[in-house]
Amino acid sequence: MLIVMKFGGSSVADAPRIRAVADIINTAAAQHRVVPVVSALDGVTELLLDLCDAAAGGDTDATNAQLATIDKRHALVAEELGAQAVVAPHLDRLRTLALGVLALEELTPRVKDAIVAHGERLSAAMLAHILCATALDGHEAGIVTNDHFGEADPLPELSAFNIRQQLLPTVQSGARVVVCGFVAANQHGVTSTLGRGGSDYTATILGTALSADEIWIYSDVDGLMTADPRSVPSARLLGNLSFEEAVEMGKFGAKSMHPRALEPAAAARVPVRMRSTFKPTNPGTLISDAGSTQSASPVLAVPMLKGLAMLTVGGGGMVGRAGSAAAIFDALAEARVNVHMICQSVSEAGISIVVSAAQAENAQSILDRTGREQDRRWTIDVKSNLAVVAAVGAGMKGAPGVAAKIFTAIAEQKVNVIAIAQGSSELSISIVVEAASGNAAVAAIHKAFIDA
């Protein structure tokens, strides 16, 4: 089999962890062709972003302090691994770039990418060193992006072509490589990055272009869970789920895969397995076409999103007046407010929008202003301290009674439902509740469908 194996920051946090990753790779390489992809050491991307801020702000002391922290962190790990010689050139180059930004007090997105890319370059260099492999950055492996520095999009056809031309023959020849996650380059070879958490994306792009048999995503958790074990002690590991279900789960919880990263694998139907570096023999959670067919329950998982607020735009002026929704969402988009959930009842007397609590005030003022400017006579009501609880599962599709069972379960716990949304794909039902009732709602739904 051909396997792409991606290791997140927590899997390569220090020298012993990097050694453990090397063991996992060696064990897999005894049976399969493997393409390891690696993130920066845990927390290093944040350090690099802080370095960028310090240098761009012209703060010499903070820049030097930040460089010293990054140097020390890597020097320590490299020393334990005997990899000092391979990290030195990257640390030198990083210093040169940072001092350049400091001198100019100017940071373009392109230069920021050139700096931030060093996290993955450093970790890949060290891992490659102990594996006697060659470290490649994403561009050398074949990934080409547009010029959207900071969150660049891969050019899919060109990248797939290059990956097959460049990386595939290397892998087939049995040569050992380690690929930097997150880092790529535009068509002119200028370094770009794929956005926060972008190493997963690197893995799925490579896995898809190489027609890998599976893509293994290693982190410090066992896989995806039926619920957060902190709210539901009986939560258990999900063995299988479909790509569509995984996309529904994507925005809940830091440990699920971002839908953007999952997308190439989902389109090409290359199975993705989420596994733990701490328990390398566990099979983890498999996301594939076979999906959750083994599951008897229509609801597979009950994730929750906290820290939310809901704005309700109301007023008689909205009823039967075309363009109200467009005006609301245009205004929010312009203010870069991300909308988590939307509800409108057929009476049209109100549209409710769920946003992150941190963006609620901004959203309220922009809607207030838009309403006045366009003479729409809106009233805007804001509710804070909310959570969205979702019941996710492809088995809900076309199955009557699932919603009834969900609402009975939460009503029995005396949890008040503030708003509800279900997309017509019927893959999930999202329920807005007071944050204080969130755990009770999750536990009730979990008990009704999953514990039973």
- Number of residues engaging ligand ASP in binding (CB under 6 A): 13
d(CA 412, CA 202): 45
Provide, rounded to whole angstroms, the least separation between the CB of residue 257 and ligand ASP: 11
d(CA 137, CA 183): 6
If the CB atoms of residues 37 and 212 are measured against ligand ASP, the closer one turns out to be 37
Distances (CA, A) of 257 to 31, 164, 194, 253: 26, 25, 14, 9
Residue 36 binds ligand ASP (CB under 6 A):
no
Helix axes 44-56, 109-116, angle to 10 degrees: 140
Residue 39 binds ligand ASP (CB under 6 A):
yes
d(CA 88, CA 121): 11
If the CB atoms of residues 45 and 364 are measured against Mg ion, the closer one turns out to be 45
Residue 191 binds ligand ASP (CB under 6 A):
no
If the CB atoms of residues 40 and 185 are measured against ligand ASP, the closer one turns out to be 40
Provide, rounded to whole angstroms, the least separation between the CB of residue 40 and Mg ion: 6
Chain mean position to CA 53: 23
Residue 199 binds ligand ASP (CB under 6 A):
yes
Residue 9 binds Mg ion (CB under 5 A):
yes
Stretch that binds ligand ASP, among 64-72, 197-205, 314-322, 380-388 (CB under 6 A): 197-205
Provide, rounded to whole angstroms, the least separation between the CB of residue 167 and Mg ion: 23
Q: Among all residues, whose Cβ is closest to ligand ASP? A: 199
Helix axes 60-81, 44-56, angle to 10 degrees: 150
Q: What is the CA radius of gyration of the chain?
A: 24
Q: CB burial class (10 A; 0-12, 13-18, 19+) of residue 168?
A: buried
Residue 9 binds ligand ASP (CB under 6 A):
yes
d(CA 399, CA 426): 9
| DSSP code string of 306-342 | EEEEEEEEE-GGGTT-TTHHHHHHHHHHHTTPPEEEE
If the CB atoms of residues 41 and 168 are measured against Mg ion, the closer one turns out to be 41
Q: Which of residues 39-98 bind Mg ion (CB under 5 A)?
A: 39, 45
Strands 350-356 and 339-344: antiparallel
Helix axes 109-116, 84-104, angle to 10 degrees: 160
Residue 207 binds ligand ASP (CB under 6 A):
no
Taking CB under 6 A as the rule, which mask of x and - marks residues 134-173 in contact with ligand ASP?
----------------------------------------
| Partner whose binding site includes residue 199, from Mg ion, ligand ASP, none (CB under 5 to 8 Å by kind) | ligand ASP
d(CA 450, CA 452): 5
Provide, rounded to whole angstroms, the least separation between the CB of residue 413 and ligand ASP: 37
Stretch that binds ligand ASP, among 23-31, 37-45, 289-297, 428-436 (CB under 6 A): 37-45
Residue 119 binds ligand ASP (CB under 6 A):
yes
Q: Could you give the 3-state DSSP secondary structure of residue 346?
A: coil
| Partner whose binding site includes residue 219, from ligand ASP, Mg ion, none (CB under 5 to 8 Å by kind) | none
Contacts of 88 (CB under 8 A, 6+ apart): none
Residue 438 binds Mg ion (CB under 5 A):
no
Q: Among all residues, whose Cβ is closest to Mg ion? A: 9
Residue 255 binds ligand ASP (CB under 6 A):
no
Using CB under 6 A as the criterion, which residues of the chain lie in contact with ligand ASP when the complex forms? 8-9, 39-40, 45, 119, 181-182, 196-200
Contact footprint for Mg ion (CB under 5 A): 9, 39, 45
